[in-house]
Amino acid sequence: MTASGRRLRWESLADAFNVFAIHTAVYRLLGGRLVGRNMLILTTVGRKSGRGRSTPLFFVRDGADYVIVASNGGEDRHPGWWHNIRSDPNVTIQVGRTVIRCRAEVATAADRPRLWSQLDAVYGGYRRYRTATTRELTIFRLRPSPRTH
């Protein structure tokens, strides 16, 4: 609780302790081991700063694609990385020790029910997030880019 009696929000705690930066550093140090399955590190280009911004996220596979959701913990506003992807859909992900360049695309309406089922199986909190917010949570497909030689 804060001095005014309001509960601290998750992002306030994350900012205060830089939880995402710590999680990302541990993930990279251990190559994804010990931090759970179905976790990746998404790196976007900051739309204002132009610098790389990394965020740990749950994912599922759908064919060759990696699928993530911009839930922001069920908040009514999009996470910062959502804005970065909308500005520049070229992203990098790290899965274990493998780094992959991808292009982010919004999942089609036809794919959403099937993808939600898979995402809910990885993290049950997504169900609660969908009911906690008035916005539609965006599901992104991260399509690996063809390798250039």
Q: Would you say residue 116 has pLDDT above 90?
A: yes
The total number of structural domains in the chain stands at 1
* Domain assignment of residue 60, yes or no: yes
Contact between 80 and 53 (Cβ < 8 Å)? yes
Tokens encoding 59: 């994912």
76 domain residue, yes or no: yes
Q: Is residue 49 part of a domain?
A: yes
What is the average per-residue pLDDT within 117-130? 95
Q: Please check whether residue 99 lies inside any domain of the structure.
A: yes
Q: How confident is the model at residue 34 (pLDDT cuts 50, 70, 90)?
A: low
SS3 135: coil
Q: Is 28 exposed, middle or buried (0-12, 13-18, 19+ CB in 10 A)?
A: middle
* Whole-angstrom distance, CA of residue 42 vs CA of residue 90: 11
Residue 149 within a domain: no
Confidence of residue 30 (pLDDT cuts 50, 70, 90): low
